[in-house]
Structure 1
Amino acid sequence: MNPIEWLFDAQLQIGTQTILWREVIGNAFGILSAVGGMRRKVWAWPVGIAGNALLFTVFLGAVFGTPNPVNLLGQAGRQIMFIVVSIFGWIQWSRARSSSAHIAVAPHWASNRTRILLGLGMVAGTLILTPIFRALGSFEPVWADAWIFIGSLLATYGMAKGWTEFWLIWVAVDVVGVPLLVSAGYYASAILYVFYGAFTITGFFIWMRVQRRGTALVDRQLTGTA
């Protein structure tokens, strides 16, 4: 059996529960990507893309004939969205790092207008996607799947733009994502979502601290006290 076949078929048996190793590995890549994002490292993007590719096959259980025949279309669809937006973020951070400052991204607050648009986007996107996902046969409660999808889209885009608030969007995604994944039988992902939650809260405070240091440095330079 070659490594690709092993990765696709390997399973972990815990009691009566069967968990795919690619679900565990895909989520591990996601956590590693979150750590890289917290440290503002460009490699966070390609690592995240690798995890997204694995998880896409996991959340279409009925399509790929996995032990858990449940389709979470929002979860599966967001992996494709992640890959697309991550390519954008990868390019954005790479360009910034190649500048004279050699910094991948400078954390900053989004404008009040952007915050309002993000909030409206979360609600409107969920309302629009819920009936679509339901018609396609996604797992109930479908609104939760839609919420996770649109929240993930906005959070990933916010990370690419360097908005410190993107971490808080991830918190909103995780709060809904954990109970949905448990009810759908994706226990490994649910457990790892709990770790995601810890990372997102930590990441928010780290980015906020970096942002404050950057603001203080600019203030000292402007006042000639650097």
Structure 2
Amino acid sequence: MGPLGWLLDAQVGVAGSPVLVREIVGNVFGLASALLGVRRLLWAWPVGMLGNALLFTVFLGGVFATPQAHDLYGQAGRQIFFFAVSVYGWWRWTRNRRAEGAGGHAAVTPRWATWRERALLLLAAVVGTAAAYPVLAALGSWGPLPDAWILTGSLLATYGMARGWVEFWLIWVAVDAVGVPLLLRGGFYPSAAMYLFYGAFCVWGFAAWWRTSRATRPVTAPIPSTYTEAVA
């Protein structure tokens, strides 16, 4: 068995159940992408895309012969959307780096979304979840409603990361809160553990981006008193 065959077929026992090695490896790539994202480094995107490719094969058990009996079409589908949104994020962060010059390492400057942007995020969350639910239910996805939110919320969080919005970390926390119990019931133990850890990690990432946004907030220079007196 070559390295590729080993990655596709190898299994380990977790809590008495078989688990694919590629599920573990895919989640490790996801964690590495998150760590790079906290530091706002371009490598966050291609590393995450490798994890997306591996996890896509994990959540379609009926197609790729995984040990789990459940197909999570929302989980699998979001890997495809992740890949597409990551291309956009990679392009946007690369453009930011070029605009800011080669001297800095960070590819984006965190900022809070405007109230209009937050309203659009909320609307997209409701509409996206409502639209995804009947599709996933018709496909036979296990747990279509939570799966629909996980799909929608994950896409919104990834888009928010590409835009540099601090709130994207909070969206991930909301995704993880739904994802952990769903994955545990489905027997996807490495992914459930990853979601649980990632939820705590997102709180730390949120605090880090919040501090950075405060440090980089533009300061308005005071108006000279002579100018004020002249206007008066």
Fold shared, TM-score > 0.5 on shorter chain: yes
For the Cα contact (< 8 Å) 2:14–2:189, is it kept in 1?
Answer: no
Structure 1 segment 20-59 matched on structure 2, within 5 A: 20-59=20-59
Deviation string, structure 1 residues 113-136 (Cα, Å, up to 9, x no partner):
111111121122111111110001
Would you identify which runs of 4 or more consecutive aligned residues in structure 1 move more than 6 Å?
A: none
Q: Which runs of 5+ in 2 are unaligned?
A: 224-232
Aligned to 1:60: 60
1:177 partner letter = G
Aligned to 1:150: 152
In 2, distance between residues paired with 1:51 and 1:100? 29
Aligned to 2:227: none
Could you tell me the TM-score, scaled by structure 1's length?
A: 0.94
Deviation string, structure 1 residues 75-95 (Cα, Å, up to 9, x no partner):
000000000000110011111
Aligned length: 220
Aligned to 2:165: 163
2:216 partner letter = G
Aligned to 1:122: 125
In 2, distance between residues paired with 1:3 and 1:82? 26
**Residue 101 of structure 2 is aligned to residue 98 of structure 1:** no
**Which one of the candidate residues 109, 113, 125 is aligned to 2:116?**
113
**Residue 138 of structure 2 is aligned to residue 135 of structure 1:** yes
For the Cα contact (< 8 Å) 2:30–2:48, is it kept in 1?
Answer: yes
Q: Provide the identity percentage.
A: 55
Deviation string, structure 1 residues 159-198 (Cα, Å, up to 9, x no partner):
0000110000000100000001011110110011111101
1:134 partner letter = A
In 2, distance between residues paired with 1:155 and 1:189? 18
In 1, distance between residues paired with 2:15 and 2:96? 48
In 2, distance between residues paired with 1:37 and 1:223? 35
What value does the CA root-mean-square deviation take over the aligned residues? 1.3
Aligned to 1:186: 188
**1:98 aligned counterpart, secondary structure:** helix
Computing the radius of gyration over CA atoms, which structure comes out larger, 1 or 2? Answer: 2
Deviation string, structure 1 residues 120-156 (Cα, Å, up to 9, x no partner):
211221111111100011002x110000000001000
Go from structure 1 to structure 2 and tell me whether the alpha carbon gap of 1:212 and 1:146 turns closer, same or farther (over 3 Å shift). same
In 2, distance between residues paired with 1:92 and 1:64? 33
Q: Which runs of 5+ in 1 are unaligned?
A: none
